[in-house]
Amino acid sequence: MTIKLPEFKGYTVDVKLKQFRKVSKEKGIKFIDFDSSEGDKLLAGYIDTLDLNNPRDKETLNAIWR
């Protein structure tokens, strides 16, 4: 079974590794850790998009805080 990770503002959101990732041919792979200043801003925006009435989103939020 393949699991597609969520995307936010062109970044793949990897909750397990606590990173945002973006891949491009020109710039290669860009990693942004959740605990960096840029990652903190992206994470706040991503969290705002989660629907806490949706069990999957609630699970995602719990995984972020682990």
Each residue's pLDDT tens digit, 7-38: 999 999 999 999 999 999 998 999 999 999 99
Query: d(Cα 41, Cα 34) in Å, to the nearest integer?
Result: 9
Task: Tell how strand 19-24 and strand 11-14 pair up.
Answer: antiparallel
pLDDT for 60 equals 92
The whole-number pLDDT of residue 21 equals 97
Amino acid at 63: A
The model's pTM? 0.86
**Residue boundaries of the structural domains of the chain:** 7-65
Q: What is the DSSP string of 5-51?
A: PPEETTEEEETTTTEEEEEETTTEEEEEETTSHHHHHHHHHHHHH--
Give the per-residue pLDDT at 28: 96
pLDDT at 4: 87
Alpha-carbon radius of gyration of the chain? 12
